[in-house]
Structure 1
Amino acid sequence: MLNQHFSHRHPLAAATVAEDDGAICSGCELRLSGDAYKCIKPKCEFHLHDLCFSLPPEIHHPSHPKHPLILAGSPPYAGGEFACDACGDLGSGFIYRCPRCQFDLHIHCAALPETVIGKNHGHPLRLVFHYKGKGFCCGVCEGGLGNGCWVYCCGDCDFGVHVDCFVGEDEDEDEEIE
């Protein structure tokens, strides 16, 4: 069965992608394995995770409560890239954006949970949008923070981690967090 996706002009077919294929999802720009959709045209390297194929076309996000964020298949900017307002990293794949405010999020940043529990920190950490505090030092990498980026912070103590460092914390069994 063939499927059409708004972000690609060719039909897509359901497929199972092996991890060692080296395929990259055209939506989230992350490595692809498992259930996916693949372009049926030869030499077209368009792939989507099953979840990226099924993303809602519009979301309401607490970081930008005034307007909905609209899913776009690519950034509308010259050069084809955007800077994510959550993590500050560049992206060229799918983007949730507010066209009125030029507010842009990677799709994976838009899906971050608002509260998390770290394996090495006893208190819940809350996602803080547009952190403006001074002297931030990440509890994992000990690095500073770009102005306005999101962080996970503990409300009970002076502890916080970069979003990317928290995500990596779950993958690294040897990392110690206070």
Structure 2
Amino acid sequence: MGAAVSSGGHPSHPEHNARFRRVAGGDHRAPPSRCRMCNLTVELGAPAYHCSEPKPDGCAVVLHEACYRRPKKMTHSAHPQHRLTLAGDALALAAGVSCSLCACPFGTPPVAYSCTRRRCAGGFRVHPRCCDLPKSISVPPELHDHGDLVLRPPTSSSGNGGEQRRRRCLSCSRVAGTISGQQAAAPWSYQCAKCVDIEYCLACLLGDDDAANMRCCCFQCCTVDPAAVQCLGNLAGVFFCAFLGGMGCPTAIPPTQPSPGGIGLTRNRN
């Protein structure tokens, strides 16, 4: 398969309005690099899109093929009232702004899906990978009796004199909103609707910001054998890749990324 050229630039790379050139597996000899959108490695030989800016030294910006094909606008259950727009403009993503779902900072340069409505300006912005988080997940009965956990914002109070609810993660046992014993802004989490103190935190599902430990909840880097799937991100990858069939998901099979403690989690289609 040869190279192809896109019809224009990409919103994740506003610095250049140049077209992106698709480079098929085996057509390029560049060493592995980081995808501008998801910040995960684009493996040597994997299909990808490269910026074709004709500067003397060229441009090193590269996107996974499936990252390039992500929709420019989308909706998410965490912000259903408005559509979210993909943007990579550092001016639109001010320094210090964190993801509205996982509460982690954006990369450099930042890329996010944002609500552009004036009344939401400065409000809802999420990592592309966090946009793939499902509404709910199922956990095995040995982990929690009630099974399904639903993606929800941190609970502000319990209704008992305004006392704040404290949820403990089923995996790491960290209490929501605390870091080393200190209070901190809490991210969303998967919570049990029947229990006021149970959740599964996004840090355990997504991993930390170290790319070596990051678990993927984006479909673009997850093409794996469903029988080997253990983590939520890989399962989401199988689902989306099967749905998109032939839409450009990379074919390289990454190592299986197990959930903490080898816990099996299931994505719910709702």
TM-score range relative to shorter protein = 0.7 to 0.9
Counterpart-to-counterpart distance in 1, 2:112 and 2:36: 11
How many residues align? The count is: 175
Per-residue deviation at 1:53?
0.8
Q: In structure 2, which of residues 59, 62, 72 is the aligned counterpart of residue 57 of structure 1?
A: 72
Larger radius of gyration: 2
The answer to whether residue 24 in structure 2 is matched with residue 24 in structure 1 is: no
Counterpart-to-counterpart distance in 2, 1:131 and 1:21: 45
RMSD: 2.9
The answer to whether residue 169 in structure 2 is matched with residue 138 in structure 1 is: yes
**Cα gap change, 1:52/1:130 in structure 2, threshold over 3 Å: closer, same or farther?**
farther
The residue identity in structure 1 corresponding to 2:114 is: R
Counterpart-to-counterpart distance in 2, 1:132 and 1:21: 47
Counterpart-to-counterpart distance in 2, 1:150 and 1:82: 16
Alignment of 1:27-176 (within 5 A): 27-33=37-43, 34-41=46-53, 42-75=57-90, 76-79=92-95, 82-92=97-107, 93-99=110-116, 100=118, 101=120, 102=122, 103-118=124-139, 121=143, 123-132=147-156, 134-146=165-177, 147-157=185-195, 158-167=197-206, 170=231, 171-172=257-258, 175=261
Scaled by the length of structure 2, what TM-score is found?
A: 0.56
Scaled by the length of structure 1, what TM-score is found?
A: 0.80
Contact 1:131–1:148 (8 Å) recurs in 2: no
Per-residue deviation at 1:35?
2.6
Contact 2:34–2:40 (8 Å) recurs in 1: yes
The residue identity in structure 2 corresponding to 1:132 is: S
Counterpart-to-counterpart distance in 2, 1:118 and 1:23: 35
Per-residue deviation at 1:138?
1.3
The answer to whether residue 5 in structure 2 is matched with residue 2 in structure 1 is: yes
**Cα gap change, 1:173/1:165 in structure 2, threshold over 3 Å: closer, same or farther?**
closer
> Sequence identity of aligned pairs in percent?
26
Per-residue deviation at 1:21?
3.4
Q: Which runs of 5+ in 1 are unaligned?
A: none
Contact 1:131–1:149 (8 Å) recurs in 2: no
Per-residue deviation at 1:63?
1.3
Query: Higher strand share goes to which structure?
Result: 1
